């Protein structure tokens, strides 16, 4: 157990309230049980002692066979009780601790800015967190108590040994130390090895992924045999790596065991060395006891190297989770200031997630009930402005104001209540179409929902679904296509009837009729609302009141369509590129 | 001994798969087993040597020192031999494992390659990947490491029991009793534990999926102020899991305690027996000591057998997943071979219908392709266009009706037949890490430079390639992540054109025409490959004026057929869309023509 492990355990403890005391109790009981497991040996010595010295000593209490049996059974039950208490207390406590830890983590994730979570693909993020919690749980439940329950009795045993014979104990200490040292060296040395192995594993998994995902295409071109050879080659290389790695791993385990086994060798060697000094014909009682105790101490130490490895991964997982727990959360105001008007103002806003281009010092003003479009080339992440506006991410510097009030003072809930968002890849929950739209306004009547559908030009396709508006949709049942989902999102926006609308319609291309349906619904939605729209299709936004042009993270131009074309700058270039296409 | 691993293995069917996996390397497996046996024997030897040293202490003689020295040497020798043997055992076990499992992987990969397109559509790539990587990896760990340890531990136990039997049968009996009691009591609890375990697993998967859902839907729920509701469900799920885990953990604790305490306390039977035997003068003191040493050295192997058996039983799931593939069940069954007969139409849809979860996507689609021409299927987004494309290329089979290529069902085509008769461009054409050239050739040899150039020009890939400094050698990332969707599609089109098949099916063709003159796209296809029949799926009108055969797909039915002019006159749906498209086109083009001069004027 090194410092990292201890800090990890304490960090976990710091995050939880209940269960800590219980856990410590449990571990203590485990340790006591471990110590008790040495006790039969003590009895054994007692017997030996009485057996070997019957003639001379009067003080020795003679115990009958049944006496031994009773004492042994008594000890056994004590051990049983201690072990039971230890196991159940530590298990229950650690499940409590992990539960509290999980709840804390979930609560923290709840108040993280949405953009933070969405940086990694959703499913992977959730998977990683679950995996990490599980590893930490395993470490806390099994490994830490196990290691303590092995180590402390060992230390106790060594202490007893030291009382019996300090000289021999020196040997024991020496070889235990060297065994631990071997393990340490192995750990450092094989970090490198593990990395190489991980690389080769990665390679193989990439090849296999490639192969399986591409299988359909390969088969379409009747080329699967050719690729089989590739996979085969990769598998062979991986085989070589794995063999090497496996051997190194087992040899390190073996080295550890050899070092441990040296305890016995050293002991016998010392016997041989010290023997001549003693009187030749007395029985060396101490040495015999020593020999027996040695075995008892040695046994539990064998399995430790594996547990250390598991502990290390648990510590890594804990560090990963801690990094999430350490992420700054959104600050919410104590009392929300709701603005009276719905203009939007950006004041020198900068943001960067370190990967993409980000935004530098963007300042602009969106008057109430006007339409502002944001355009840029495909590489520019223009939709980040929408995310900033809706508090999905926090700006690194600068202020965003709605109706003159900073959105930090409005609070996330307040901001969300004022705006509707129609994003690319609108999400559906696993429910009926009706309920999917109703989430925008849970108390809306069926008529309201249907009216919203009509305004969003949804009714036509909804009526074609097998059960109309009550059809179950979502990932688990019928999947809707991109434009259908987008129209459902528009229907939600109609139902919510929020004063601000944020639209993100970048890449999707539809056939003219669908396009027209969606466009007319969108136009209807934009009426009498403050609208910010992000798009790559310039023909959609020629009527916008103001167009902001973003290039390489900077706001380069703004104005109406005609005005921008008259300048003949970056926007004109974009426009020409697109109209040549048409 | 009750702990015999092979009994367990044979009673459950998956283990037969496990054994047959190892069958090819029988020699090495026996070698590993015998090595493991000798390891446990040398281990016993070192215990015996320790005993000898104690013996010299019990009966001190003048020659003790010499004897002790010899014992030290013996011990060192035993340890070294043991290590060497284990190294060898691990070496061979790793070899066996890697050989067997590389073969297994290859077999699986081959098996997947032999799947028909229809079967392949049924299985998610993730599922196949999981079998191929994770499950096999688990098997590998077990065979290479745990098997040696298990065999070694079992043989150690057996040897110790035999040694005890040689000393006195009553000692052996007492040990066997303890071990059996431990096993029986733990197996009693095991059966109960299984149900708790199942409950915990259920609660856990539920919690995990709720958590993923929560994270996934966070943007939606937060904006609509439903967050707290979803969060409450998540909290409930976490509580459920906690409850289930709590109950499970109590059981586990009980099981662990019984098992480890009973196994660890072999003394409780052994010591009284030994003392009794000694007092009855059936056993010398030395033998008592020896038996104690033996019993102590038995604790570790017994515990490790217990743990390893748990590992082995955890393997069952993995093997169960592999089993269906192992039997080569999925090899193609040829049903009533229909021959390809050129007198039939090249590609024909006979009253094709397709349902997805009771939702009819296609109904009564009935048409045939006009040979050596461009056949267009025009459809709005989400009206079954991709489904029809997949049916045409045989990736799925229709729910009713038939799709036939020269009189043979397309979904029954073998890979080699398909490549001879058609080239297919699917919506998600997979691109590999490598150069553009490799991606187009896809490993096909004997393609002339002229043919490659031809395909590159016809697919409109040429202008893009000219922009790249490396041309055809431009490196792509996995899945072509460094390309736009259009560029990916163009590469896929070039890939399909390269061996000039008689039929080419292009799904989502409008993507390829983005930012490009649409008429030119069709002209290039026709001009470069006059003898090829094209089936092109599109949702834009651009470029359709040039006399292609157009099939209008609406709401899962082909509502009208003919050339552009005919359709304008006959089909209202088509005409309406055309009007809309034109008005938009003229709007933007008039604006651009009126604005552009002004812009240049200002400069």
Does B65 touch chain A if contact means CB atoms closer than 8 Å?
A: yes
Separation in Å, CA of A512 to nearest CA in chain B: 6
Ordered by start, the domain boundaries in chain A are: 3-325, 344-581
What whole-number distance in Å separates Cα of residue A549 and Cα of residue A373? 8
Indicate if ipTM > 0.90. no
Sign of CA dihedral A237, A239, A244, A248: positive
The least confident of A185-194, B9-18, B245-254 is: B9-18
Q: Give me the helix-helix angle, A144-164 and A20-36, nearest 10°.
A: 40
In this predicted model, which residue has the larger pLDDT, B600 or A274? A274
Architecture of the domain defined by A3-325: Up-down Bundle (1.20)
What whole-number distance in Å separates Cα of residue A534 and Cα of residue A502? 8
pLDDT band at B7, cuts 50/70/90?
Answer: very low
Q: Does B45 have pLDDT greater than 50?
A: yes
Provide the pLDDT for residue B603: 35
For chain A, helix, strand, coil in percent to 5 are 65, 10, 25
> Please, are residues A314 and A6 in contact by the beta-carbon 8 Å criterion?
no
Element (H, E) at B284: none
| Number of C-beta neighbours around residue B585 at 10 A | 16
pLDDT digits (tens, 9 = 90+) for A433-463: 888 888 888 888 888 888 888 888 888 888 8
Provide the pLDDT for residue B121: 67
Instruction: Scan for tokens 């949709």, then name that residue.
Output: A473
What whole-number distance in Å separates Cα of residue A33 and Cα of residue A29? 6
Provide the pLDDT for residue A1: 57
Task: Please list every residue in chain A whose beta carbon sits closer than 8 Å to the beta carbon of residue B231.
Answer: 106, 110
Does B185 touch chain A if contact means CB atoms closer than 8 Å?
A: no
Residue B33 CA to its chain's centroid (Å): 31
Provide the pLDDT for residue B265: 65
pLDDT band at B330, cuts 50/70/90?
Answer: very low
Separation in Å, CA of B65 to nearest CA in chain A: 5
Does B238 touch chain A if contact means CB atoms closer than 8 Å?
A: yes
What whole-number distance in Å separates Cα of residue B54 and Cα of residue B61? 13
Minimum Cα–Cα distance from A289: chain B residue:
B54
> Please, are residues A321 and A133 in contact by the beta-carbon 8 Å criterion?
yes
Provide the pLDDT for residue B392: 84
Task: Please list every residue in chain A whose beta carbon sits closer than 8 Å to the beta carbon of residue B218.
Answer: 114, 117
- Segment A50-70 shows an average pLDDT of 66
Q: Give me the helix-helix angle, A304-325 and A144-164, nearest 10°.
A: 130
What whole-number distance in Å separates Cα of residue A378 and Cα of residue A565? 20
- Segment B171-185 shows an average pLDDT of 82
Provide the pLDDT for residue B476: 80
Q: Does B596 have pLDDT greater than 50?
A: no
> Is B510's CB within 8 Å of A510's CB?
no
> Please, are residues B502 and B423 in contact by the beta-carbon 8 Å criterion?
no
Provide the pLDDT for residue A509: 61
Provide the pLDDT for residue B601: 32
Q: Does B275 have pLDDT greater than 70?
A: yes
What φ, ψ does residue A439 adopt, rounded to 5°? -60, -20
> Please, are residues B278 and B31 in contact by the beta-carbon 8 Å criterion?
no
> Please, are residues A449 and A436 in contact by the beta-carbon 8 Å criterion?
no
Q: Under 8 Å CB-to-CB from A517, ≥6 apart: which residues? A: A457, A460, A487
| Number of C-beta neighbours around residue A202 at 10 A | 10
What's the start-to-end Cα distance of chain B, in Å? 97
Average pLDDT in chain B = 78
pLDDT band at B328, cuts 50/70/90?
Answer: low
% chain A with pLDDT above 90: 1
Task: Please list every residue in chain B whose beta carbon sits closer than 8 Å to the beta carbon of residue A103.
Answer: 235, 238
Task: Please list every residue in chain B whose beta carbon sits closer than 8 Å to the beta carbon of residue A235.
Answer: 102, 105-106
The CATH code belonging to domain A344-581 is 3.40.50.300
% chain B with pLDDT above 70: 86
Provide the pLDDT for residue B430: 79
Q: Does B516 have pLDDT greater than 60?
A: no
Provide the pLDDT for residue A579: 67
Provide the pLDDT for residue B52: 84
Separation in Å, CA of B201 to nearest CA in chain A: 12
Does B426 touch chain A if contact means CB atoms closer than 8 Å?
A: yes
- Segment B9-18 shows an average pLDDT of 59
In this predicted model, which residue has the larger pLDDT, B402 or A295? B402
Does B281 touch chain A if contact means CB atoms closer than 8 Å?
A: no
Cα B447 to Cα B442, B443, B503, distances in angstroms? 11, 10, 18
Q: Does B75 have pLDDT greater than 80?
A: yes
Nearest CB to A511; choose among B128, B249, B540? B540
> Is A219's CB within 8 Å of B415's CB?
yes
Closest CA to A411 of B165, B429, B231, B222: B222
Does B232 touch chain A if contact means CB atoms closer than 8 Å?
A: no
Cα A351 to Cα A275, A485, A535, distances in angstroms? 79, 30, 20
Q: Does A84 have pLDDT greater than 70?
A: yes
Specify burial of residue A92 (Cβ count, 10 A radius: 0-12, 13-18, 19+): buried
Cα B602 to Cα A546, A559, A567, A572, B231, distances in angstroms? 21, 17, 8, 12, 58
Q: Does B335 have pLDDT greater than 80?
A: no
The least confident of A333-347, A451-465, A540-554, B123-137 is: B123-137
> Please, are residues B37 and B155 in contact by the beta-carbon 8 Å criterion?
yes
Q: Which residues, in sequence order, are bridge partners of residue B104?
A: none
Q: Does B50 have pLDDT greater than 60?
A: yes
In this predicted model, which residue has the larger pLDDT, A292 or A326? A326
């Amino acid at each position: 157990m090194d410092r990292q492990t201890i800090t990890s355990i304490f960090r976990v403890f710091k995050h939880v309230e209940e269960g800590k005391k219980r856990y410590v109790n449990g571990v203590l009981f485990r340790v006591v049980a471990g110590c008790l497991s040495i006790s039969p040996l003590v009895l054994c010595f007692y017997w030996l002692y009485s057996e070997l010295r019957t003639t001379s000593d009067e003080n020795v209490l003679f115990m009958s066979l049944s006496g031994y049996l009773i004492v042994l059974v008594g000890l056994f039950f004590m051990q049983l009780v201690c072990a039971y208490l230890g196991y159940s207390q530590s298990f229950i406590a650690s499940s409590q601790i992990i539960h509290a830890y999980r709840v804390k983590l979930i609560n923290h994730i709840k108040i993280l800015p949405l953009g933070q979570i969405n940086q990694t693909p959703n499913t992977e993020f959730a998977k990683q967190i679950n995996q990490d919690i599980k590893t930490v749980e395993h470490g806390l439940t099994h490994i830490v108590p196990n290691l303590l329950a092995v180590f402390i009795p060992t230390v106790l045993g060594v202490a007893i040994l030291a009382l019996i014979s300090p000289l021999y104990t020196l040997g024991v200490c020496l070889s235990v130390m060297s065994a631990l040292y071997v393990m340490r060296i192995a750990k450092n040395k094989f970090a490198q090895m593990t990395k190489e192995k991980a690389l080769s594993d990665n390679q193989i998994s990439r090849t296999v992924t490639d192969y399986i995902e591409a299988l359909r295409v390969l088969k379409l071109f009747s080329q699967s045999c050719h690729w089989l050879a590739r996979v085969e080659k990769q598998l062979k290389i991986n085989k070589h790596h794995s063999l090497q790695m496996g051997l190194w791993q087992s040899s390190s385990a073996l080295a550890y065991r050899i070092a441990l086994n040296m305890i016995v060798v050293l002991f016998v060697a010392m016997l041989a060395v010290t023997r001549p000094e003693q009187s030749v014909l007395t029985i060396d009682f101490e040495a015999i006891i020593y020999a027996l105790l040695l075995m008892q101490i040695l046994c539990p130490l064998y399995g430790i190297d594996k547990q250390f490895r598991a502990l290390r991964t648990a510590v890594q997982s804990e560090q990963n989770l801690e990094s999430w727990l350490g992420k700054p959360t959104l600050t919410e105001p104590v009392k929300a200031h709701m603005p009276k008007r719905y203009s939007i103002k950006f004041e020198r806003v900068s943001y960067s997630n370190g990967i993409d281009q980000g935004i530098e010092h963007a300042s602009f003003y969106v008057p109430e009930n006007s339409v502002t479009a944001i355009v840029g080339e495909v590489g520019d992440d223009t939709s980040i402005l929408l995310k900033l506006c809706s508090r999905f991410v926090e700006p690194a510097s600068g202020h965003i104001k709605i109706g003159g009030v900073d959105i930090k003072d409005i609070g996330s809930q307040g901001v969300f209540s004022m705006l509707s968002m129609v994003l690319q890849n609108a999400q559906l929950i696993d429910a009926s179409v009706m309920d999917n739209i109703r989430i925008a306004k849970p108390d809306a009547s069926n008529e309201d929902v249907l009216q919203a559908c009509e305004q969003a030009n949804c009714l036509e396709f909804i009526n074609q679904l097998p059960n109309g508006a009550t059809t179950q949709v979502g990932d688990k049942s019928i999947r809707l296509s991109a434009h259908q989902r987008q129209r459902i999102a528009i229907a939600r926006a109609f139902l919510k009837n929020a004063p601000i609308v944020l639209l993100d319609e970048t890449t999707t291309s539809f056939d003219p009729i669908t396009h027209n349906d969606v466009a007319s619904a969108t136009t209807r939605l934009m009426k009498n609302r403050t609208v910010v729209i992000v798009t790559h299709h310039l023909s959609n936004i020629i009527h916008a009141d103001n167009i902001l042009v973003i290039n390489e993270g900077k706001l380069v131009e703004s104005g109406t369509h005609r005005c921008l074309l008259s300048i003949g700058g970056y926007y004109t270039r974009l426009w020409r590129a697109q109209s040549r296409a048409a | 001994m009750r702990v015999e691993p092979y009994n367990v293995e044979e009673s459950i069917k998956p283990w037969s798969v496990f054994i047959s996996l190892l069958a090819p390397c029988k020699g090495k497996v026996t070698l590993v087993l015998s090595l493991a046996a000798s390891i446990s024997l040398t281990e016993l030897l070192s215990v015996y040597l320790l005993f000898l040293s104690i013996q010299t202490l019990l009966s001190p003689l003048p020659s003790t020192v010499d004897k002790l020295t010899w014992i030290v040497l013996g011990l060192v020798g035993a340890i070294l031999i043991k290590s060497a043997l284990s190294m060898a055992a691990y070496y061979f076990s790793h070899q066996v494992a890697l050989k067997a499992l590389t073969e297994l992987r290859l077999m699986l990969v081959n098996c997947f390659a032999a799947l028909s397109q229809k079967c392949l559509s049924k299985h998610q790539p993730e599922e196949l990947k999981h079998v191929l990587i994770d499950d096999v990896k688990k098997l590998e760990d077990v065979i290479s490491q745990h098997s040696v340890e298990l065999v070694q531990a079992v043989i150690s136990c057996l040897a110790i029991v035999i040694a005890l039997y040689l000393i006195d049968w009553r000692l052996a009996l007492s040990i066997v009793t303890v071990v059996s009691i431990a096993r029986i009591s733990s197996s009693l609890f095991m059966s109960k534990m299984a149900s708790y375990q199942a409950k915990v697993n259920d609660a856990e998967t539920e919690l995990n999926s709720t958590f993923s859902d929560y994270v996934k839907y966070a943007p939606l729920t937060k904006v609509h102020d439903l967050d707290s509701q979803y969060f409450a469900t998540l909290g409930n799920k976490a509580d459920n899991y906690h409850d289930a885990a709590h109950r499970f953990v109590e059981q586990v604790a009980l099981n662990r305690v019984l098992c480890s305490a009973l196994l660890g306390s072999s003394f409780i039977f052994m010591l009284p027996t030994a003392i009794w035997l000694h007092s009855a003068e059936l056993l010398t003191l030395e033998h008592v000591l020896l038996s104690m040493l033996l019993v102590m050295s038995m604790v570790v192997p017994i515990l490790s057998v217990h743990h390893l058996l748990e590992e082995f039983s955890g393997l069952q799931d993995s093997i169960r997943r592999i089993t269906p593939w192992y039997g080569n069940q999925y090899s193609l069954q040829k049903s009533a071979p229909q021959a390809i007969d050129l007198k039939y139409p090249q590609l024909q849809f006979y009253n094709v219908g397709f349902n997805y979860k009771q939702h009819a996507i296609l109904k009564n689609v009935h048409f045939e392709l006009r040979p050596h021409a461009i056949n267009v299927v025009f459809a709005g987004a989400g009206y079954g266009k991709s489904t029809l494309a997949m049916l045409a290329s045989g990736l799925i089979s229709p729910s009713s009706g038939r799709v036939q290529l020269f009189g043979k069902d397309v979904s029954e085509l073998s890979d080699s037949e398909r490549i001879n008769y058609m080239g297919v461009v699917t919506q998600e054409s997979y691109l590999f890490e490598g150069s553009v050239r490799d991606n187009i050739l896809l490993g096909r040899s004997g393609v002339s430079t002229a043919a490659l150039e031809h395909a590159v020009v016809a697919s409109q890939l040429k202008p893009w390639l000219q922009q790249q400094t490396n041309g055809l050698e431009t490196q792509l990332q996995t899945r072509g992540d460094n390309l736009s969707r259009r560029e990916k599609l163009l590469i896929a089109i070039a890939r399909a054109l390269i061996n000039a098949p008689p039929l080419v099916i292009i799904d989502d063709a409008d993507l390829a025409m983005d930012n490009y003159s649409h008429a030119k796209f069709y002209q290039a296809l026709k001009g470069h490959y006059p003898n090829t029949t094209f089936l092109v799926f599109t949702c834009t009108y651009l470029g359709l004026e040039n006399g292609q055969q157009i099939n209008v797909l609406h709401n899962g039915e082909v509502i009208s057929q003919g050339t552009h002019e005919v359709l304008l006159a006959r089909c209202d749906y088509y005409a309406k869309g055309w009007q809309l498209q034109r008005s938009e086109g003229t709007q933007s083009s008039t604006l651009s023509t009126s604005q552009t001069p002004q812009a240049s004027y200002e400069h």
